[in-house]
Every structure is written in structure tokens, then in C-alpha cells.
């Protein structure tokens, strides 16, 4: 009897998706297996740039729809971890496909169709998950060690005013963009409000960090508070970095500071976008300050006195009271928490 097969291939990162890494190899191996076993090929489904930690993937959605429609005897992947690394996910898919008369197969599956064989398949998923966690932990430690040595782990988004050097392990100043940063600091230091600076930049058509024409006060506030733009003396930076990094600093120069390992992301779930692709819903938290890692960056060229005055003006600026209303002490950051230093606001 001829078995009708759907082939499934997946790569796990956007970088792999862009380079095509392993997708072609998976498809070639699956097609060869299908021909060798004289199965009828119905469709090849691919998930490019999607993690195996979730079942919410466009390609896997397509496979599940095909199985539900009927007429599919086999769904085949090259490796079990191409399907999923979660044992309970594999159990769910096995049960779902079996209800529609279909079998889910990986070419490297452990065991047979016996009860013990099913246990081995789930065990393989558990082993794959453990390997993934070990790789993630090694990657995290490697990134942290590289930062401790004074080298940048290239981020997905480079701060405005900087660009990556040729080795992609440090920043160099982008003079065109940094000129905008210096002007923002000077305007705020001279007494302009963030809203006033926003209007000036928009009126002059200065591109924002996103490339658009609209600037936000929150972006301007982040610029003024960002340590990468604030000039630190060599001794200030040396107190924050490892001795080997401090030895490479020039005592006559100033440096900015870029903070690594500052934020921690928590995945809250997955959501499907209108184009059918999925994305993670994430919440960003801030780690304790003692866990942050300081990385020296090139001096942004903002004079120290200008940077200090700009920061002070942002911190102390008081929002004007509304017409015919008294001054409100909670406006503009006048009152602050004695423990954390954050500004206090009215609730309700």
C-alpha cells in the first residue's frame, strides 16, 4: 500500500533562515528517504527561523491542517528535535496525528511502536531539551566572559551615534549621528525642555533613531541619561572593569560606558501576527545592579559640564501647573522615593 507523506524541515534561528543553513540538507535527506521507501510525496513544509520550543509555528500549523483534512499517512522530519524538544509536545502531536490516521516519524527516532518504544521517543526529546539548555548556558557564559574581557557582543540594535568596528567587537563613533546627540545635550543643558528639543528636531527634519521624522520625549530622556554618551574619566571606568581591561585604557582620554547583562527577558507567551507568523510576547526586567557588566565605549564628545547640566535639568525640571490650578508637588519629579530614588506620581 502506497503511503502518502508530508515532509517537515525546520531551522531554529533567523540567522539560519537567512543563510539557508541545514534546510536544503534536511529536504534532500527526507526526499531520498521518501523515494527509497516508495512513499508518495504530497508536500514539503518548512519553518525557517522558528524555535522548536513552541508548537506555534506557521509551518507546523500547515502540517497539522493537512493532517486534519485527511489523506496524509506520514509526517516525516529528519531529526526528532526538528519537530520539538519537549516530550509532552511530542506526545500531544503523536496523539493528534493518530486520531486522523497519520503517523509522526523522525528518521532518528528511538524505539519501536511498543509502549517501551514510545517511552524512548519521549526520552529522546527530554535529552534534546537538556542539550539545548546546556548550549544556551554555555553561550550565556561565553558572552559574559567576552564582555568581562572588554569586548562587545554585537547587539541586534546599535545605539544611536555609534556603529560596529570591523571586528564587530566594539563601537566606533558615527560622526553624523553623534553630532545630533551632542546638540541634544547642549539644548537641554541650555534650558530647553524635552518637548522643546523634540519640536526643534522635527521642525528641522532631523531623522530619529528609527529613521522617521517623529521624535519622542522618552527617547530624548534616555539619551541624556545614557552612560554611553556621558564622559567618564579613565579612573572612573577602571573602577568598573576587570584589571586587564583597565590596563588597555588611555589615562588621558574619556570614555563612555555601555552596560551589558543589564536586562532579563521573560517570555509571557506567543501571539500570531496578521501575516501568519508568530512572535514572542516578552517582558523586560532589570537585573540587580551588581550583575551589570561595564564595557568602555569611545567618548561621544559631549563636554562633561554640558552632560552634567543636561542631566540635572532633566532630573529637576518641573512640569508647569495647568491653568487656574495650584502647583502639584508630585509633578516633574520633585518628590522621590527615599529607598529607590524613583520619582513619585499620583495614583487615581
Residues 302-322, mean pLDDT to the nearest whole number:
83
Same domain, 300 and 216: yes
Confirm whether 33 is domain-assigned: yes
pLDDT band at 329 (very low <50, low <70, confident <90, very high): low
**What are the φ/ψ torsions at residue 66 (nearest 5 degrees)?**
-60, -45
Residue 345 is predicted with a pLDDT of 60
Residue 218 is predicted with a pLDDT of 94
Confirm whether 142 is domain-assigned: no
* pLDDT(311) > 70: yes
Angle, CA 76 vertex, CA 277 and CA 37 arms, to 5° = 150
Angle, CA 42 vertex, CA 94 and CA 89 arms, to 5° = 20
Same domain, 89 and 154: no
Same domain, 187 and 329: no
Confirm whether 143 is domain-assigned: no
The torsion angle over the Cα atoms of residues 262, 341, 333 and 305, rounded to 10 degrees, is: -70
Tens of pLDDT along 243-268?
A: 999 999 999 999 999 999 888 877 77
Same domain, 164 and 292: yes
Tens of pLDDT along 112-147?
A: 666 666 667 667 766 776 777 787 788 888 888 999
Same domain, 61 and 164: no
Confirm whether 199 is domain-assigned: yes
Confirm whether 144 is domain-assigned: no
Same domain, 243 and 265: yes
Average pLDDT, the chain: 86
Same domain, 10 and 105: yes
Structural domain of 282: 149-317
How many other C-beta atoms lie within 10 A of the C-beta of residue 97? 20
Same domain, 261 and 156: yes
Query: d(Cα 114, Cα 185) in Å, to the nearest integer?
Result: 70
Confirm whether 132 is domain-assigned: yes
Same domain, 81 and 32: yes
Confirm whether 188 is domain-assigned: yes
Same domain, 204 and 309: yes
C-alpha closest to that of 161 among 299, 309, 296: 299
User: How many domains does the structure of the chain reveal?
Assistant: 3
Same domain, 31 and 115: yes
Residue 330 is predicted with a pLDDT of 53
Query: d(Cα 98, Cα 82) in Å, to the nearest integer?
Result: 19
Residues 6+ apart with CB under 8 A from 257: 227, 228, 230, 232, 237, 240, 294, 295, 296, 297
Any idea which of 160-164, 167-171, 172-176, 322-326 has the lowest mean pLDDT?
Answer: 322-326
HSE-CB for 335 with a 13 A CA cutoff: 8
Residue 327 is predicted with a pLDDT of 47
Whole-prediction pTM value?
Answer: 0.64
* pLDDT(341) > 80: no
Which of 137, 160, 179 terminates a domain? The answer is 137
Same domain, 175 and 35: no
CATH of the domain at 90: 3.40.50.1390
Confirm whether 340 is domain-assigned: yes
Q: Kindly give the pairing relationship between strand 255-260 and strand 162-164.
A: unpaired
Amino acid at each position: 500500500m502506497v503511503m502518502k507523506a508530508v515532509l517537515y524541515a525546520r531551522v531554529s534561528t533567523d540567522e539560519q533562515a537567512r543563510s539557508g543553513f541545514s534546510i536544503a540538507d534536511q529536504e534532500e535527506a527526507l526526499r531520498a528517504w521518501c523515494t527509497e521507501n516508495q512513499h508518495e510525496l504530497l508536500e514539503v513544509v518548512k519553518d525557517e527561523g522558528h524555535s522548536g520550543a513552541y508548537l506555534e509555528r506557521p509551518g507546523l500549523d500547515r502540517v497539522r491542517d493537512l493532517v486534519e483534512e485527511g489523506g496524509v499517512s506520514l509526517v516525516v522530519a529528519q531529526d526528532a528535535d526538528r519537530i520539538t524538544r519537549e516530550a509532552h509536545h511530542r506526545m500531544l502531536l503523536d496523539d493528534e496525528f493518530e486520531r486522523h490516521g497519520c503517523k509522526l516519524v523522525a528518521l532518528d527516532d528511538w524505539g519501536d511502536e511498543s509502549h517501551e518504544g514510545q517511552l524512548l521517543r519521549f526520552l529522546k526529546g527530554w535529552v534534546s531539551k537538556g542539550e539545548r539548555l546546556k548550549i544556551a548556558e554555555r553561550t550565556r557564559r561565553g558572552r559574559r566572559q567576552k564582555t568581562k574581557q572588554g569586548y562587545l557582543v554585537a547587539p541586534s540594535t546599535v545605539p544611536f551615534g555609534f556603529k560596529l568596528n570591523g571586528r564587530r567587537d566594539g563601537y566606533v563613533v558615527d560622526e553624523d549621528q553623534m553630532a545630533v546627540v551632542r546638540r541634544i545635550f547642549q539644548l537641554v543643558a541650555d534650558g530647553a525642555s524635552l518637548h522643546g528639543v523634540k519640536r526643534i528636531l522635527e521642525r528641522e527634519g532631523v531623522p530619529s533613531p528609527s529613521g522617521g521624522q517623529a521624535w519622542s520625549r522618552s527617547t530624548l530622556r534616555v539619551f541624556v541619561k545614557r552612560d554611553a554618551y556621558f564622559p567618564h574619566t579613565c579612573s572612573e571606568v577602571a573602577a568598573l572593569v576587570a584589571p586587564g581591561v583597565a590596563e588597555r585604557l588611555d589615562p588621558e582620554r574619556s570614555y563612555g560606558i555601555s552596560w551589558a547583562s543589564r536586562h532579563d527577558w521573560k517570555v509571557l507567551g506567543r501571539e500570531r501576527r496578521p501575516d501568519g507568523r508568530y512572535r514572542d510576547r516578552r517582558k523586560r526586567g532589570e537585573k540587580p545592579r551588581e550583575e551589570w557588566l561595564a564595557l568602555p565605549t569611545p567618548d561621544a564628545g559631549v563636554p562633561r559640564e554640558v552632560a552634567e547640566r543636561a542631566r540635572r535639568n532633566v532630573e529637576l525640571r518641573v512640569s508647569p501647573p495647568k491653568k487656574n490650578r495650584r502647583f502639584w508637588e508630585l509633578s516633574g519629579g520633585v518628590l522621590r522615593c527615599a529607598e529607590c530614588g524613583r520619582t513619585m506620581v499620583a495614583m487615581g
